[in-house]
Chains A and B, each alone.
Chain A
Amino acid sequence: MIKSDRILGLVTILVALAYIASAFQIQASFLTDPVGSKTFPILIGAVAALCGLVIFARPDPDPEWPEMSGWLRLALATAVMIGYAYGLKPFGFVLTTALAGAALSWMIQPRIVAAIVTGVGLSAILYAIFKFLLGLGLKPWPAALTG
């Protein structure tokens, strides 16, 4: 089994090289200064690549990675959050928050009733706090319903 840190080192080097390559593409303004737009990013990329090499050459012991089921739960949690991010604007705060809150709650403690109560409760309480106490202009309901 290849050590995690070797992978980290390799990924770092690749990303750093891509970053440097991308830095060379930065358009130069004709009103330029002695250092220019590219130097600093290239420098950062170079140092990062060096760090990648060191990490690759001298890896630390592996951390304890989660089991397959653990990865699945994490992927699911990420998916819920991404869905929440996309849904917040078109579907309004109340519905999406209740759903996402319930889903996350269920992932932490798989009890369906408690999760639903948590989701709905959080949605209502947080809406009240944000709307009336902090005065954030959140839209509560889907745009399609309110026009």
Chain B
Amino acid sequence: MTIKLVRALGTSAIISVVAATSAWATECIAPANAGGGWDFTCRQIGKLLYDLDLVDSPVQVTNMAGAGGGLAFAHVVAERNNDEDLIVAASSATTTRLAQNAFGGATADQVRFVGAIGADPGVIVVAADSPFQTLGDMVEAIKADPGSVAFAGGSAAGGFDHMKPLQVLKAGGFTDIRKIKYIAVDGGADAITQTIGGFTQAMTGDMSEIVGFLKSGEVRALAVLTEERVPGFEQIPTAREQGFDVVAVNWRGLYVPKGISDEKFEEWGQKLQAVADSAEWKETMVANGLAPFTKVGGDFQGWIDGVIADTVELSKEIGVIQ
């Protein structure tokens, strides 16, 4: 018992940033603080990799917050380019920032994207006592008085959460985006709190962030930004069926350093696929409101490039970047 404990303590390095290479454990970098989406990805995938015996020792999660993921990206490119035991959590926020050149000139081809194994559908939510019953109600209200509705979201101005309402409004024919009020708070749960408290009129975020509040009946989701209604949440209409052709899902996945061998890259792909196929992961997805979305392997990098190109175009159209 004691020996196991001491050994476990030894392997429990959170702070292995210090080590250039650690031969005995896989490390997953969550490019943000604990508690967020990337952290969730790392911890969940890390736990399943170990539980499914795909790695020998528990995956150590390193939280490397900074510059919205830019610090971790730069760290991987500059210092860990050949590290075969390193995985990094990624999501739509990663591609959005790459597209908006928010990583100081870094580009998507400086790392290798392994795959995505789930997607968090975008949602637009109001408090239960809100006068808005449909997405149309809200868009009309904003058209009549742009200052009357303020959105709260977990990403910085111009980020993924901010773009969701902007896309909806654009689809609804409102283009003066500077008039839309948006406050960036510390994560989705905080955004909901501000909305229930009545300080903001709507919250923009991901499905996983609102599951508990939907159940307690304190909020009402006006729309989910997917192509089809989400399994388990069939009562929430899509934006598309309300006449706003907007799809925004936050995929969750991994990237690895560019310099690792092709065999190792393939191996990570297989491991990620195994996690995606496991019953435990399916359970986790349902519990957290994630929609099935598995894209692993060769064409994923191409898909990423496509997403980035689309985001660049969209950001320019909306005016988030020049």
> Chain A residues in contact with chain B, CB under 8 A?
29-31, 33, 131-139
Contact = CB atoms under 8 A, between A and B. Distances in A.
A138 B9 contact: no
B13 A135 contact: yes
Given A137-B18, A137-B19, A31 B320 contact: yes
A135 B11 contact: yes
Contact of A31 (B9, B18, B178): B178
B20 A139 contact: yes
Interface of B: 6, 9-20, 22, 157-158, 178, 319-320, 322
Given A31-B320, A137-B13, A138-B19, 7 more contacts: A31-B157, A31-B158, A131-B10, A135-B10, A135-B12, A135-B15, A137-B15
Given A31-B158, A31-B178, A132-B6, A138 B18 contact: yes
A115 to B, nearest CB: 27
B255 to A, nearest CB: 22
Contacts of A30: 319, 322
A136 B16 CA distance: 6
Given A137-B15, A137-B19, A138-B19, A132 B10 contact: yes
26 contacts: A29-B157, A30-B322, A31-B158, A31-B178, A132-B6, A132-B9, A133-B9, A134-B15, A135-B9, A135-B12, A135-B13, A135-B14, A135-B15, A136-B13, A136-B15, A136-B16, A136-B18, A137-B13, A137-B15, A137-B16, A137-B18, A137-B19, A137-B22, A138-B19, A139-B18, A139-B20
Nearest to A143: B20
Contacts of A136: 13, 15-16, 18
Majority secondary structure, A binding face: loop
A126 to B, nearest CB: 14
Contacts of B10: 131-133, 135
Nearest to A133: B9
A34 to B, nearest CB: 10
A29 B321 CA distance: 10
B19 A139 contact: yes
B79 to A, nearest CB: 11
Nearest to B11: A135
A137 B17 CA distance: 7
A31 B182 CA distance: 10
A65 B22 CA distance: 48
A133 B8 CA distance: 9
Contacts of A135: 9-15
Enumerate the 10 nearest inter-chain pairs by beta-carbon distance, A residue then B residue, closest first. A137-B19, A137-B16, A135-B13, A137-B18, A31-B157, A135-B12, A136-B15, A135-B10, A137-B13, A137-B22
Nearest to A146: B20
A104 to B, nearest CB: 22
- Among B13, B14, B16, B157, chain A packs the most CB atoms within 10 A around the CB of B13
A147 to B, nearest CB: 11
Contacts of B6: 132-133
A6 B260 CA distance: 60
A134 B18 contact: no
Contacts of A133: 6, 9-10
